[in-house]
Structure 1
Amino acid sequence: MTETTPFGIDLELDETVAEGHYSNLAIISHSTSEFIIDFAAVLPGVQKARVKSRIILTPEHAKRLLRSLQENIVRYESNVGKIVIPVPSSPGDTGPKMGQA
């Protein structure tokens, strides 16, 4: 399956990749030359999380991704409503958080 982006680039997206992976945990690390984002899913009562996808970016592209996410969240909230991040109700309620370093 091929899609044309607003930038005029044809993207090829095969069916397996198009299915995607669910993630409720992102681990972000970096060196002087790259940012690494590991996406995983943590299930209740399971102590082990398997990384489903790893994305490696240059610092410049990581910053572009940050800006793009910020712009898209602003658009989402203006159309759908504010995204509320719940505050843990007890010290034991510290489940996975997106963006953990």
Structure 2
Amino acid sequence: MNNPNPEQEGQINIELDEKIAEGTYSNLAIINHSNTEFVVDFINIMPGMPKAKVKSRIILTPEHAKRLTQALIDNIHRFENAHGEIKEEEQPQIPLNFGPTGQA
């Protein structure tokens, strides 16, 4: 019996529309969590500006947050092996009252 779906079994067809493909720049991420989810707010904060807006919010299960962390670590290692160590500059000073204050 032939599989009526021409795609490989177990593969997911992922679509990426043009607007999402453009991406959103972020130079700050604020992470909050509850016992059931991690909330990551991506922000573009500009020097000298007293205000910044959340550009994107991603909500993850704890298990997926851990898998994402490992995937980032693996990719950073591959990047550094190909291009050299990523140098971390001084962390920008962010006001203590910046960002969300409660748990999601």
Normalised by the shorter chain, which TM-score bucket?
0.7 to 0.9
SS at structure 1 position matched to 2:11 = coil
Corresponding residue for residue 81 of structure 1: 84
Give the TM-score taking structure 1 as reference length: 0.79
Q: Percent same amino acid at aligned positions?
A: 55
Corresponding residue for residue 93 of structure 2: 94
Structure 1 runs of 4+ aligned residues shifted over 4 Å read: none
SS at structure 2 position matched to 1:10 = coil
**CA RMSD between the two structures:** 2.2
Corresponding residue for residue 17 of structure 2: 14
Cα deviation for residue 95 of structure 1 reads 5.6
Corresponding residue for residue 63 of structure 2: 60
Give the TM-score taking structure 2 as reference length: 0.77
Please list every run of 5 or more consecutive structure 1 residues that lacks an aligned counterpart in the other structure: 1-6
Cα deviation for residue 9 of structure 1 reads 2.0
Higher relative contact order (CA 8 A, sep 6+): 1
Alignment deviations for residues 42-97 of structure 1 (CA, whole Å, 9 cap, x no partner): 01111111111000000000000000000000000000110010236xxxx6369x
Which has more radius of gyration? Answer: 2
Out of 21, 25, 28, which is 2:28 matched to? 25
Structure-2 separation of matches of 1:38 and 1:95: 15
> Number of aligned pairs?
88
Please list every run of 5 or more consecutive structure 2 residues that lacks an aligned counterpart in the other structure: 1-9
* AA matched with 2:93: T
1:50 aligns with 2:50: no
Structure number with higher strand proportion: 1
